[in-house]
Structure 1
Amino acid sequence: MTALKAEIIDLIRQEGPIGIGRYMALALGHPRHGYYMTRDPLGAEGDFTTSPEISQMFGELIGLWAAHAWQAMGAPARFRLVELGPGRGTLMADMLRATRIVPGFHAALSVHLVETSPVLRARQAATLKGYDPIWHDTVAGALEGPVIAVANEFLDALPLDQFVMMPEGWHERLVGLDDAGALAFGLAAASEDALRIAAAAGAVFEQPAIALDIVTQLAGHLASAGGAALLIDYGSIRSGFGDTLQGMKRHEFVDPLAEPGDADLTVHVDFERMGQAALKAGTALHGPATQRDFLLALGLPQRAQALSLKANARQRDAISDAFDRLIAPGEAGMGDLFKVLALSQRNLPPLPGFDLHRLPDRG
């Protein structure tokens, strides 16, 4: 039994069952035993791999997208390049390398990272040495003046609450203890009368309040101070019902209650609701698009070809494998499971990646 699991069991014995959101917050962010506070979870030796870790092409294209957005903003002399949940700093490093070709871009930017993990902050500092990144514990702390923000696999790790439709109405889904004293899912006794959403019996409704608050906060800042944001994650274009909570360890799905603190916990992002929140806060929306369509529109095939021309046979195979994984549909890749949504100040022109607009080739 993990140390955190024992602590959560003691907490439930003392206070009673807890909501899914609180359970996720403890499992991921507990100051001593939280999953993200104690390890680098990325890569083949970790529990999962993200698009930036698969190929430099991903970060390069995102960097050029950011530079295009900066130019569309009128190329402000000062702006913040912000990443939410920057992992090892790989995405930001690739973005910065690719944008060296853009006149004035680096002179105007300052790098800001929203990260709470001390382990990952250390990795980011090493990866981004020379760029003098500034870290923030909260999204609000990173927002000042014109901003271009990127969040890749950030929203999926934010705690949410779940509710289940029973014959008498919605009941909050909780984590409690079974007869043997083990962690188990259950339902609150009282119904949630405030949830006036029609659904069939057994339906699960997820309430991503923290993610919605962050998107609202980000969108409100962009609307008033200027800028754009790119949100990339796995999830659905349309809202619906269903339990999307999942555990991940060593690249395999695991029981979310089995090893809190030692396994990643994530949920699928409801992009329709994120977009509605951003619109309400005053920004324009671009997308959502699938990651496949987005990367193809940005010129992923051309970038892969350019890299392959300079590569040996082994490197060409790796480029081809990465290309397929980034855009392949179904379980073979990330192409249709991952979605991309951009927010921007309403006076900005259309941004690349959501139509046939392609970025210039880096060569």
Structure 2
Amino acid sequence: MRPFTARSVLGLAAGRRAHRSGLFASCSTARSFSSTVYRRQTERTWSTPLAKQLFEAISTTGPVPLASYMRMCLTGDVGGYYTGAIADGRDQFGVKGDFVTSPEISQVFGELIGIWFIAEWISQGRPKDGVQLIEVGPGRGTLMDDMLRTIQRFPAMADSIDAVYMVEASRELRDAQKKLLCGPDASSTESKVGSHSASKHNNRPIVWTDTIKSIPIEPNRMPFIVAHEFFDALPIHSFQSILVEAPPPPPPGSPAAAKKHLSSENAQSTMEWREMMVSPTPPGVTHADLGTPKSEQHEAPPEFQLILSSGTTRHSRFVPESSPRFRKLKQTPNSLIEVCPDASIFATDFATRIGGSPQHPKPVPSGAALILDYGTSDTIPINSLRGIRQHKRVNPLSAPGLVDLSVDVDFTAIAEVAMLASDGVEVHGPVPQADFLEVMGIRERAEMLTKAPGVNQATAENIDKAWKRLVDKGPGGMGKVYKALAILPENEGRRRPVGFGGDVSA
């Protein structure tokens, strides 16, 4: 998971769905958090400073959309998971952190991503300049470091790169990325775009920015964009369709019955979307009360829970209407959907940079975006909210700011939005990560590393174990759960990219 911008406003839109097993209550069973109950909880001891801040905000505004909760937990200024720096030296990544990402598992992963972009550079005419490398949510910088090291072996492409852009909200992660990519003593300068330092690989400028919107969209640039485990960290809205019964007819002879202007619509049952909201759990609540799965009962009961809104919200009235895929489920009672407006924003940005748009004309589409994440390929995600801490599944509504939060990515929605955003792009995939990496040559590259001079048996076994983990197609295996999707310039089906059924076209 990766953060994308430093925001701390609870009211920002994007909701989230959660697990049926106790993470939310229906509107008929949800506990009422009146002002009296809130006052009773003011003396409660909270697990983190962010938990207390969330409680105080909810006590003022009432339950908040799940998206707002997620934003605060991941990128809030007070103890956010990526931006709060609660503990000195805390590292979210790696064996000593909360989770391990593919670039941390094997250097081959980043090398193959670099090769993929080299293949695209070749297929799109080998431009001598104007190339931009853009990574959103770059973690510790491991992926970009492996990519740049690989690209350096192709001097013509390395020389074509104007700048590398790192879209990163966390100051701590920026520092880690800078040390890795530029060296521990690298100097930096500031501009209206962001902070600039020189790459240790080719001395090209590396620019850090809070938001991708700070990077100018220019028609003569070839943007190569990578988003690895980025979209799964974007806040989502979560909705459930509810049958709203028609009110009983007024008694005969009553003033209401006498009104002839009562429409038949007002007398009919209707379907409405209701939104999942976050509210505090009562003091003393137990796992049994919440229905927490046994696998997540190794910590104290969470301080927050999901409830279903008792009426429509400003999000439920509009967000589920954004796609025919969502709208057609409205008439089926208890349908569940997760919608990520922020994913649409980024998909639109990627497509516009590559293919142009009426607001940003681009005479010749160029560039590519490669998205690698876990999610659904042909269905709408539901019940996918998860929490990870110290490599264990935990309740996602516990210990705000100390738990990594993520959801399944709706790849179909990303593809749909990208195609609508620009007539100059086409989308390939998603394909399973195992298929993508195997076609890119992960097996062959790993074998080369095991046979390199000075590699002992233990190191060779670790290399072998690592690449096989990335392509594992077993239940829950990374090769099956993770998928790859590519956004390319529209070419009327004449060329498919490497890893998606095609080959390099020089």
Q: Which amino acid aligns with 2:473?
A: P
Is the contact made by 1:246 and 1:253 (CA closer than 8 Å) also made in structure 2?
yes
Greater shift in the superposed pair: 174-183 or 157-166: 174-183
Question: What is the rounded CA distance, in whole Å, between the counterparts of 1:166 and 1:276 in structure 2?
Answer: 26
When normalised by structure 2's length, the TM-score is 0.68
Question: What is the rounded CA distance, in whole Å, between the counterparts of 2:152 and 2:49 in structure 1?
Answer: 46
User: Secondary structure of 1:25's partner?
Assistant: helix
| 1:16 Cα deviation from its structure 2 partner | 0.4
Quick check: 1:349 aligned with 2:495? yes
Question: What is the rounded CA distance, in whole Å, between the counterparts of 1:173 and 1:21 in structure 2?
Answer: 9
Residues 263-301 of structure 1: per-residue CA shift (max 9 Å, x gap): 111111010111111111221112111100000111111
Greater shift in the superposed pair: 128-137 or 333-342: 128-137
Residue aligning to 1:117: 170
Q: Residue 32 of structure 1: which of 53, 57, 78 is its match? A: 78
Residues 35-59 of structure 1: per-residue CA shift (max 9 Å, x gap): 0112531000110111000000000
Structure 1 residues 356 and 344, CA gap change in structure 2 (3 angstroms): closer
Is the contact made by 1:63 and 1:94 (CA closer than 8 Å) also made in structure 2?
yes
Greater shift in the superposed pair: 334-343 or 322-331: 322-331
Question: What is the rounded CA distance, in whole Å, between the counterparts of 2:105 and 2:416 in structure 1?
Answer: 31
Residue aligning to 2:329: 198
Residue aligning to 2:346: 214
Quick check: 1:157 aligned with 2:233? yes
Question: What is the rounded CA distance, in whole Å, between the counterparts of 1:358 and 1:258 in structure 2?
Answer: 48
Is the contact made by 2:229 and 2:372 (CA closer than 8 Å) also made in structure 1?
yes
Q: Residue 472 of structure 2: which of 324, 328, 333 is its match? A: 328
Is the contact made by 1:297 and 1:357 (CA closer than 8 Å) also made in structure 2?
no
Map 1:68-83; keep pairs closer than 5 Å: 68-76=119-127, 77-83=129-135
| 1:171 Cα deviation from its structure 2 partner | 0.5
Residues 66-114 of structure 1: per-residue CA shift (max 9 Å, x gap): 1111122222212110111111111001011112221311111121100
Q: Which amino acid aligns with 1:93?
A: D
Question: What is the rounded CA distance, in whole Å, between the counterparts of 1:127 and 1:105 in structure 2?
Answer: 21
Quick check: 1:136 aligned with 2:209? yes
Question: What is the rounded CA distance, in whole Å, between the counterparts of 2:381 and 2:111 in structure 1?
Answer: 35
Question: What is the rounded CA distance, in whole Å, between the counterparts of 1:239 and 1:143 in structure 2?
Answer: 34
Question: What is the rounded CA distance, in whole Å, between the counterparts of 1:202 and 1:318 in structure 2?
Answer: 47
Residue aligning to 2:63: 17
Question: What is the rounded CA distance, in whole Å, between the counterparts of 2:385 and 2:62 in structure 1?
Answer: 21
Q: Residue 157 of structure 2: which of 102, 105, 110 is its match? A: 105
User: Secondary structure of 1:330's partner?
Assistant: coil
Question: What is the rounded CA distance, in whole Å, between the counterparts of 1:158 and 1:241 in structure 2?
Answer: 13
- Structure richer in helix, relative to its length: 1
Question: What is the rounded CA distance, in whole Å, between the counterparts of 2:100 and 2:215 in structure 1?
Answer: 26
Residue aligning to 1:285: 427
User: Secondary structure of 1:189's partner?
Assistant: coil
When normalised by structure 1's length, the TM-score is 0.94
Q: Which amino acid aligns with 1:12?
A: I
Q: Which amino acid aligns with 1:171?
A: R
Question: What is the rounded CA distance, in whole Å, between the counterparts of 1:318 and 1:211 in structure 2?
Answer: 35
Is the contact made by 1:114 and 1:142 (CA closer than 8 Å) also made in structure 2?
no
- Structure richer in strand, relative to its length: 1
Residues 178-232 of structure 1: per-residue CA shift (max 9 Å, x gap): 4439422111111345543425443321110001111111111110252100000
Structure 1 residues 257 and 82, CA gap change in structure 2 (3 angstroms): same
Is the contact made by 1:298 and 1:352 (CA closer than 8 Å) also made in structure 2?
yes
Residue aligning to 2:101: 50
Q: Which amino acid aligns with 2:468?
A: D
Count of residue pairs brought into register by the alignment: 359
Is the contact made by 2:99 and 2:390 (CA closer than 8 Å) also made in structure 1?
yes
| 1:358 Cα deviation from its structure 2 partner | 7.9
| 1:342 Cα deviation from its structure 2 partner | 0.5
Question: What is the rounded CA distance, in whole Å, between the counterparts of 1:101 and 1:152 in structure 2?
Answer: 23
Q: Which amino acid aligns with 1:134?
A: V
Residue aligning to 1:89: 141
Q: Which amino acid aligns with 2:352?
A: G
| 1:332 Cα deviation from its structure 2 partner | 5.9
Q: Which amino acid aligns with 1:234?
A: Y
Is the contact made by 1:325 and 1:332 (CA closer than 8 Å) also made in structure 2?
no
| 1:11 Cα deviation from its structure 2 partner | 0.5
User: Secondary structure of 1:175's partner?
Assistant: strand
Question: What is the rounded CA distance, in whole Å, between the counterparts of 1:230 and 1:241 in structure 2?
Answer: 21
Residue aligning to 1:259: 399
Is the contact made by 1:72 and 1:349 (CA closer than 8 Å) also made in structure 2?
no
Greater shift in the superposed pair: 347-356 or 295-304: 347-356
Question: What is the rounded CA distance, in whole Å, between the counterparts of 2:113 and 2:152 in structure 1?
Answer: 13
Q: Residue 184 of structure 1: which of 281, 288, 305 is its match? A: 305
Question: What is the rounded CA distance, in whole Å, between the counterparts of 1:123 and 1:113 in structure 2?
Answer: 12
Quick check: 1:61 aligned with 2:112? yes
| 1:241 Cα deviation from its structure 2 partner | 4.6
Q: Which amino acid aligns with 1:309?
A: K
Question: What is the rounded CA distance, in whole Å, between the counterparts of 1:242 and 1:343 in structure 2?
Answer: 25
Q: Highest Rg: 1 or 2?
A: 2
Q: Residue 446 of structure 2: which of 293, 300, 304 is its match? A: 304
Residue aligning to 1:228: 368
